[in-house]
Amino acid sequence: MRALLVVNPSATTTSARTRDVLVHALASDLKLEVATTEYRGHARDLARRAAESGSTELVVALGGDGTVNEVVNGLLHGGPNPEGLPRLAVVPGGSTNVFARALGLPNDAVEATGALLDALREGSERTVGLGLAAGTPGTEDEGVPERWFTFCAGYGFDAGVVGRVEQQRERGKRSTHALYVRQVVRQFFGEPNRRHGSITLERPGEEPLENLVMSIICNTAPWSYLGNRPIYASPRASFDTALDVLGFTKLSSAAAGRHIAQLMTSTPEKGPHGKHAVSLHDQTAFTLHSQVPLPFQMDGDHLGLRTSVTFTGVRRALRVIV
């Protein structure tokens, strides 16, 4: 099988020696081409060329969720076509690796490589659904390009946290769970709209849901991890359905404490709930509007401020080796 391995040399949990070992292991079973990313967006460009070549059957992403997101967007540049595109495989190398873990892969790069080789020998794969976000026609964000996401997007508070974390990493801080916790606290006390939300969610044929402070859009469960603890924002979210949405209408100190406690004790059966929580399951199309520009993130990548984003849940978008 002809395969392309896209390697992020800055992946936080793999060393150069480990990556060499993984390359040799994969090359023993595959006709392997190895490409190392050199700039932001390079993984997307490499995957797009592989998809357009017509000769590559598999693209392996070695890196974190950001690398996986870029590879997916490169593969799907021309739109979803599961039978006509290379399959995707993931070797986790980031700090959290939500997509890989949600697929059931080990969170260790060496173990995941072994599982990948076993899956290839057994012909084990699945076709997963993905999320697609785009600028909303008729708004100032109309020209924003479409972008796919694999496990989550966020509009408002959580995207602000992601932006703060990225700023700290640019200053040389390591991406740790303690760093995220500190930025959550700072975002909370710096959030001007936490008592009166500015977000409206609109769906075809439904009444708008207004005054949301933040919205989390999930393509799978769990939403994230704190160490080895899975966090379920939308427990029913699945790669086999469209998108789930969790929104909060209030983030006062008491409400925020209650929501955080519910997230930390969430299970595959129960996530955040209550009068200030809004949960929607299996949504194919909806739009989020805000009265003021709010931060936006996809798969943990901060994408700046938006006033409106339109979401589509696309079932059976891409084949993945598992």
pLDDT tens digits along 183-217:
877 887 777 666 678 999 999 999 999 999 999 99
Q: Both 57 and 141 in a single domain?
A: no
Clarify whether residues 144 and 105 are in a common domain: no
Given a contact cutoff of 8 angstroms between Cβ atoms, the answer to whether 93 and 109 are in contact is: yes
* Domain match, 150 and 225 both: yes
Beta strands in the chain (DSSP E): 2-7, 31-36, 58-63, 87-92, 125-134, 147-149, 152-155, 199-202, 209-212, 214-218, 224-226, 229-231, 243-248, 277-283, 285-298, 301-321
Say whether both 193 and 45 belong to one domain.
Answer: no
Residue 295: partners with Cβ closer than 8 Å, 6 or more residues away = 155, 156, 159, 160, 162, 163, 302, 304, 305, 306
**Is residue 307, in this structure, part of any structural domain at all?**
yes
pLDDT in tens, 16-55: 999 999 999 999 999 999 999 999 999 999 999 999 999 9
In a shared domain, residues 54 and 154: no
Domain end call among 123, 157, 180: 123
* CB contact set of 99 (below 8 Å; sequence gap of 6+): 65, 68, 90, 150, 151, 220, 299
Looking at the structure, do residues 272 and 186 belong to the same domain, yes or no?
Answer: yes
Q: Give the residue numbers spanning the domain of 218.
A: 131-317
Total domains present in the chain? 2
Q: Give the pLDDT score at 192.
A: 67
Q: Is residue 30 domain-shared with residue 149, that is, in the same domain?
A: no
Q: What is the pLDDT of residue 22?
A: 95
Same domain for 172 and 306: yes
Where is the domain boundary, 123, 141, 173? 123
Q: Kindly state whether residue 13 falls inside one of the protein's structural domains.
A: yes
- Residue where a domain terminates, one of 94, 123, 152: 123
Mean pLDDT for each consecutive 10-residue tract of the chain (322 residues)? 96 89 95 96 98 96 97 97 95 94 96 96 97 93 93 93 82 75 79 77 96 96 93 98 96 88 96 95 98 94 95 98 97
For residues 19 and 97, state if they share a domain: yes
Residue 311 and residue 181 share a domain: yes
Same domain, 207 and 282: yes
What is the pLDDT, as a whole number, of residue 193?
64
- Among 63, 51, 42, smallest CA distance to 4 is for 51
Check residue 195 and give its pLDDT: 63
CATH number of the domain that residue 12 is part of: 3.40.50.10330
Pair 102, 156 in one domain? no
Is residue 322, in this structure, part of any structural domain at all?
A: no
142 assigned to some structural domain: yes
Write the CATH number for 225: 2.60.200.40
What's the predicted TM-score (pTM) here? 0.93
